[in-house]
């Protein structure tokens, strides 16, 4: 997918990996592994007995491209590379990406790398780092992660396992500026991520109105009907990731029905 928004919304699959295992978590609870407080530990909705390659192969067979593999902390290198090997060219990779390791994942089969903390550094957009990354891999292989949390009625980009607020808001001005440096955006609604309590419609609406390049929203999907809801609210321009709510991740929404919906709308 190259920098020009497609005309039909798509389902984008995901493979989230923590401690080498495929998981689904409540995003806002993601913490460092050595956190000593029980009340601050990561809440996991689901952990699969199947390896990452199982899900990558599933998406490959169903022709569902453009999903993301996210490394949630250390110890996931083997699982990430295994997924890429199973679906070369079909998956994007995020989690600890920088100028030093980006090509490792691209060479291993990732279509794009996804970046947040490296670029949104010390609370601001580090244009020096962003330009260095673009110069190294090209904007057509970069996805900027604008995952955000709500504060003072605005969406603020968060970094470092979604725990640190930056000084950057998700606005039309910032989206337009950043779209010049990447091929796509990935946006998790962190406040609802993994809770299966409904999508952040106001965020989807914003993205649908002002994103000039492809954008994928993730967070809060609870019912199959959310596919049509996001399609409508997002003006048919915001792709959707479903994680915890899918039956392949322990949820109730049939993955097969989602694939059928995707294929029907993207013939």
Report the pLDDT averaged over residues 57-69: 98
pLDDT reported for residue 88: 98
Q: Among the CATH numbers 3.30.1360.170, 3.20.20.70, 2.130.10.30, 3.20.20.190, which is that of 11-265?
A: 3.20.20.70
Judged by average pLDDT, the poorest of 4-18, 26-40, 139-153, 180-194 is: 26-40
Model confidence at 24, in pLDDT bands (50, 70, 90)? confident
Distance CA 38, CA 80 (A): 28
Distance CA 208, CA 54 (A): 32
pLDDT reported for residue 35: 43
pLDDT reported for residue 161: 78
pTM for the whole thing?
0.92
Q: Which residues pair with 18 in a beta bridge?
A: 21
Domain boundaries, the chain: 11-265
Distance CA 69, CA 105 (A): 11
Helix orientation angle between 77-86 and 52-62, rounded to the nearest 10 degrees: 20
Reply yes or no on whether the pLDDT at 135 is more than 70.
yes
Strands 14-18 and 120-121: unpaired
Distance CA 108, CA 181 (A): 23
Report the pLDDT averaged over residues 134-139: 98
Distance CA 115, CA 112 (A): 10
pLDDT reported for residue 264: 95
pLDDT digits (tens, 9 = 90+) for 196-216: 889 999 999 999 999 999 999
Higher pLDDT, 25 or 146: 146
pLDDT reported for residue 193: 86
Ramachandran angles phi, psi of 125, nearest 5°: -80, 115
Model confidence at 7, in pLDDT bands (50, 70, 90)? low
Distance CA 138, CA 171 (A): 24
Q: Are 84 and 113 in contact (CB under 8 A)?
A: no
3-class DSSP state for residue 251? Answer: coil
């Amino acid at each position: 997918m190259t920098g020009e928004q497609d005309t039909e919304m798509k389902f984008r699959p995901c493979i989230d990996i923590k401690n080498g295992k495929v998981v689904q978590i409540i995003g806002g609870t993601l913490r460092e592994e050595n956190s000593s407080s029980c009340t601050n530990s990561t809440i996991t909705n689901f952990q699969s007995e199947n390896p990452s390659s199982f899900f990558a192969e599933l998406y490959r067979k169903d022709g569902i491209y453009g999903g993301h593999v996210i490394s949630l902390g250390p110890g996931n290198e083997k699982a990430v590379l295994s997924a890429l090997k199973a679906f070369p060219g079909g998956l994007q990779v995020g989690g600890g990406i920088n100028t030093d390791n980006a090509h490792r994942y691209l060479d291993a089969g990732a279509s794009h790398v996804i970046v947040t903390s490296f670029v949104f550094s010390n609370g601001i957009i580090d244009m020096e780092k962003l330009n260095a990354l673009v110069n190294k891999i090209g904007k057509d292989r970069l996805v900027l992660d604008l995952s955000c949390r709500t504060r003072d009625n605005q969406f603020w980009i968060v970094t470092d396992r979604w725990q640190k607020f930056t000084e950057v808001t998700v606005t039309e001005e910032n989206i337009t500026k950043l779209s010049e440096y990447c091929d796509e955006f990935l946006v998790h609604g962190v406040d609802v991520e993994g809770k299966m309590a409904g999508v952040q419609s106001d965020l989807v609406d914003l993205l649908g109105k002002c994103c000039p390049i492809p954008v994928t929203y993730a967070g809060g999907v609870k019912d199959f009907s959310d596919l049509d809801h996001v399609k409508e609210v997002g003006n048919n321009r915001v792709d959707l990731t479903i994680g915890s709510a899918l039956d392949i991740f322990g949820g109730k929404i049939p993955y097969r029905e989602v694939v059928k919906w995707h294929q029907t709308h993207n013939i």
